Structure 1
């Protein structure tokens, strides 16, 4: 139900850490280091059991069952992973003498089923691509049906794998290949998704702005009986940014270990203002820019159709993009050094090989540290962009934010370094952060087709010209233009307004508009978007004359030129000893009179 003042539930994630631990049976305090050790034993059991189950199920018959979605009795497989695994008889095997509760087995099978179900799509795509692969040319024939379409990035990766196998086997395979034939089983992540279990393994409560998690942990690396699994009560503080929010339910977290110890990856359900996509009359389009993370523009719908002032907003990343580029280059350099040392160690003497392996370990540790730092910067960049974009949309009165469909967006044509740098940007993380932040104020984020958004005119849908280079766009027919990212934002917002009645909704994803419709967007002088904020403490050299600023972002509007100086038009012969310096005037006659006399003649 939607309407003014209505709310809707939505889930979000956050992280926290425990600051106190006690034994649930005796109430005695437990050190956090001991808790980290016991959680490590739990993760070791889950990881080993999951790896064993994945390697045992790594065969084509497993993916045939998952693709069909039916069990042996021709019943539909349930969505819960541990229930589907139990119905199929897929259970992990533990070492002899090790006792593991059945609820921990649920956690193992749920994580394995989530991984295999994700790879089932890849198995189907590889089978279709290998049937159309030509080993002589290394080209995959285009699909004949729409269901066989795959993203171009996924296609290139599979094509490289098929080419490598063709070179290794010396020809094309007799039958289409499966995923189990071109790659090995995936590694299991060291984590415990205890949300798939019930109260016998873990439960969570909230009291006085604190979360209390009660979970069973082993007391030794290889527990032999039920008595060696004891409940521990962990207490963590709720982050400050969640105080005052209408949270209706707290879900069991996922437990992981990092360099600081035990980390909770929690989820919660809260009530947010409900958004009505069909009644949207104003939209904001966000274009992913190669120079910054994103730029936006506003489009409104009125009695005269679609209109926009073509004034855009560009996100200022505060130098984080440059920092990310530096960290990426550093990580690539460390990877290249480690790869080169690995090649040298393969043929080196034993004493030299040991020295090289020690250097490789140091390089790998540095590379992991750089990767962790990049992850933190990407998260900070994503949420800072989401807050700035949401504030801009709220000030403009937009009810929907349109972003480019990332599955159809591919960076190309800017060189190997810039293409790789743009591909490594945290766009998907920024979309998730934007959807989360915008939902808190009742704004819906939808994805629209990206093709042609910065190359076509929003008014006449004709190709745009580039009079000022790559970053400018201009339509001589409609007399509109400006920054190409802002023009792309107008196109994206237009597509969201035209397709608001036909969105495709999938669970866990933002609503998607698949078809790009066209309607002319006229340029209006009404101010639809808010005025971008300006720095309050800008340093200005008062000795220099002020430069007249252009209005808006349209570079083609007429700006009167300043009055010409007489020294730019009159060039009399300089006196003896003067080399033509403009500091020496040749006549006491005022410059304005000279200029006027020249205009009259």
Structure 2
């Protein structure tokens, strides 16, 4: 278990070291905005940089720029840029064999028995210093009764031992081609997700229904409140740290420790809220696909989107959205039902009408030239807005799908 945990830390450190070395070797003239040539250079310098989201490179660039602003020079490597990593307090039982731990099901499908050897003294010297311990585990209802259970990872949380359990079970095969009903999903700011279903029949695409929306305004508002609270706490903590300096017995040290603990609690609440929101949005999307009998879900690939130039508040709201987590959960839930998830490049998805695939242009009613208009295709009748219920994110994907070509991003 110690070797497996050390190996994970070393692999993570190796990846961060290669990323930092590539960024430092191709340091741009303006760290805030790279030119296309500088982007190509840094992707060539980073291992597997062609597939790396630009947000990862941008965040490491900002970290290096903050170090340079503080010390007046660039860091030598990642070991000067980052502190030593901390190891998690957990037991990786998956790295053990049957002589160390076993996991079997009982007569009750909702129960399992974990047996593992634990030392009876702090410094075990022989096999006599180890003893078998039986730990009954209550399985959640999401674990199928016929699933094969694997050894869990044990961790301590709030004084209780939790088991992170993995299992394997058969799922339907996901098709790469031959889809006739598709669900297109579009991202929004206040309306987190919008979805619409289309059918392909004899080369003609027909919209089904009027579409649906996943609104999470209350959860997103709470998320923004926690973010602002965390920013205020961090600003106050940094101010206390400047006043304390190197003095270990300063009168503000107690307040600084209290604020640091409160920051940790706010961060944990934000993490739990994001995780719950990601699972809820993914379940809603897969549920929409099941209700429409769709065999494929098209969703925009916005991993490389950087929010800038829209104001401080809007930039922050855009950057705080958990699109990557939602897509990962969506793939996981869709695989259990045999539904394919296809990520679509975002470029050009909002340029065409999702119904007729004609380039959109801004139009106004002839009798109301001073009122705001709408975005529509030249085929749209004057005086009315866009009538297609299908979200524009599926425009490019549906066009590719109608031509009969398979997407390279199919899962």
TM range (shorter): 0.7 to 0.9
Q: Which residue of 1 aligns with 2:398?
A: 494
Q: Which residue of 2 aligns with 1:189?
A: 88
* Distance in 2, Cα, partners of 1:442 & 1:184: 43
* Distance in 1, Cα, partners of 2:55 & 2:388: 25
2:165 aligned counterpart, secondary structure: strand
* Distance in 1, Cα, partners of 2:90 & 2:260: 22
1:142 aligns with 2:46: no
CA gap 1:492/1:258 in 2 versus in 1, 3 angstroms:
farther
Shift of residue 125 of structure 1? 3.6
CA gap 1:298/1:196 in 2 versus in 1, 3 angstroms:
same
CA gap 1:298/1:493 in 2 versus in 1, 3 angstroms:
farther
Q: What is the aligned counterpart of 1:294 among 193, 200, 221?
A: 193
Segments of structure 2 that go 5 or more residues without pairing to the other structure are 366-371
1:160-179 aligned at under 5 Å gives the runs 160-164=62-66, 178-179=77-78
Shift of residue 238 of structure 1? 1.4
Q: Which residue of 1 aligns with 2:137?
A: 236
Shift of residue 464 of structure 1? 4.4
Kept in 1: contact 2:184–2:391 (CA 8 A): no
Aligned pair count reads: 391
Q: Which residue of 2 aligns with 1:284?
A: 183
* Distance in 2, Cα, partners of 1:115 & 1:232: 29
Kept in 2: contact 1:283–1:493 (CA 8 A): no
TM-score for both structures, normalised by structure 1: 0.58
TM-score for both structures, normalised by structure 2: 0.82
1:115 aligns with 2:14: no
CA gap 1:137/1:233 in 2 versus in 1, 3 angstroms:
closer
* Distance in 1, Cα, partners of 2:31 & 2:328: 40
Q: Which residue of 2 aligns with 1:475?
A: 376
* Distance in 1, Cα, partners of 2:196 & 2:387: 11
Kept in 1: contact 2:357–2:395 (CA 8 A): no
2:391 aligned counterpart, secondary structure: helix
2:170 aligned counterpart, secondary structure: strand
Kept in 1: contact 2:155–2:162 (CA 8 A): yes
Q: Which residue of 1 aligns with 2:321?
A: 425
Kept in 1: contact 2:348–2:396 (CA 8 A): no
1:271 aligns with 2:170: yes
Shift of residue 333 of structure 1? 1.9
Shift of residue 276 of structure 1? 1.5
Kept in 2: contact 1:284–1:493 (CA 8 A): no
Q: Which residue of 2 aligns with 1:454?
A: 350
Kept in 2: contact 1:402–1:496 (CA 8 A): no
Q: What is the aligned counterpart of 2:245 among 343, 346, 364?
A: 346
* Distance in 1, Cα, partners of 2:94 & 2:403: 37
1:251-400 aligned at under 5 Å gives the runs 251-308=150-207, 311-317=210-216, 319-346=218-245, 353=250, 355-400=251-296
CA gap 1:369/1:160 in 2 versus in 1, 3 angstroms:
closer
If you compute each CA radius of gyration, which structure gives the higher value, 1 or 2? 1
CA gap 1:165/1:317 in 2 versus in 1, 3 angstroms:
closer
* Distance in 2, Cα, partners of 1:346 & 1:499: 65
Shift of residue 335 of structure 1? 1.9
Q: Which residue of 2 aligns with 1:129?
A: 23
Q: Which residue of 2 aligns with 1:38?
A: none
CA gap 1:340/1:431 in 2 versus in 1, 3 angstroms:
same
Q: Which moved more, 1:319-328 or 1:404-413?
A: 404-413
* Distance in 2, Cα, partners of 1:322 & 1:478: 39
CA gap 1:418/1:486 in 2 versus in 1, 3 angstroms:
farther
* Distance in 1, Cα, partners of 2:268 & 2:241: 23
2:310 aligned counterpart, secondary structure: coil
1:467-525 Cα shifts (integer Å, max 9, x gaps): 79xx99622313296599953333265267359854547xxxxx45xxxxxxxxxxxxx
1:404 aligns with 2:262: no
1:271 aligned counterpart, secondary structure: coil
* Distance in 2, Cα, partners of 1:185 & 1:219: 31
* Distance in 2, Cα, partners of 1:495 & 1:367: 47
2:175 aligned counterpart, secondary structure: coil
1:535-583 Cα shifts (integer Å, max 9, x gaps): xxxxxxxxxxxxxxxxxxxxxxxxxxxxxxxxxxxxxxxxxxxxxxxxx
